[in-house]
Amino acid sequence: MDQRRNPEAEETAVTPKGAEVEERPANAGQPVFAEDATPADTTSVKPTQSKAGGELVEWIKALAIAGLLVFIIRWFLVSPFIVDGPSMQPNFWNRERIIVNKIVYDIRQPKRGEVIVFHVPEEGRDFIKRVIGVPGDTIKVDGDSIYVNGKKIEETYLKKAYEQAHSAGGLYNIHNDDRSDFPNGQFPDGKVPAGSLFVMGDNRSNSEDSRMIGFIPLNRVVGRADMVFWPLSDFHFVFRV
């Protein structure tokens, strides 16, 4: 008696193990009408658009935060300044760019030997000078000798300049007039008052400083010079005694 072979059973039997088998839908062979068709997924691009939009928002946030940090750092912490003039040579040169620390003196008062930037309202500009005397100090400038509270100070930051001038038989602080020394006819009291500083330029014979303009109120101090950053060949941190 002949046995008829089942084509579908034979096809299933030879499907390799692990291969996917496509199941036939229940309505196989029936016509599909338009109203039965699944509409095209018009939202398929939305996840990509949403992701791109999210990244844009994150970039905007990051830039806003960076801008805020720059603003805070620029106006409250540090600030760039340009050295204008020769009064701080040989340690600072005309047109050099420096970074001024604006927060340090909110924590403490300036110390002797530090280089500061301060406002000079009478001239409508800022000066850069070195702190020689702090409140309560008694200052005396006699040629190249500076005395603080009766003790001569060692100015290591001007050692070479002094040596060169003295080896040539002269003074580094050339006596141009009575105001080269301190106290002088314009400022006869050598004691630094409370809330003030006595400052001098490193270029002693070519500097307009406390010998000529008097003591500097602390509330005019902008900050401390911490770094020379331009030109790059002169990049260095400011030496402090």
Active-site residue numbers? 87, 129
- Would you say 86 and 206 are in contact if contact means Cβ atoms under 8 Å apart? yes
Residues 109, 195: Cα–Cα separation, whole Å: 10
Residues 235, 79: Cα–Cα separation, whole Å: 16
Burial of 225 (0-12, 13-18, 19+ CB in 10 A): buried
Residues 129, 211: Cα–Cα separation, whole Å: 12
Burial of 175 (0-12, 13-18, 19+ CB in 10 A): exposed
| Structure tokens that stand for 157 in this block | 């930051």
Scan for tokens 């691009």, then name that residue. Answer: 45
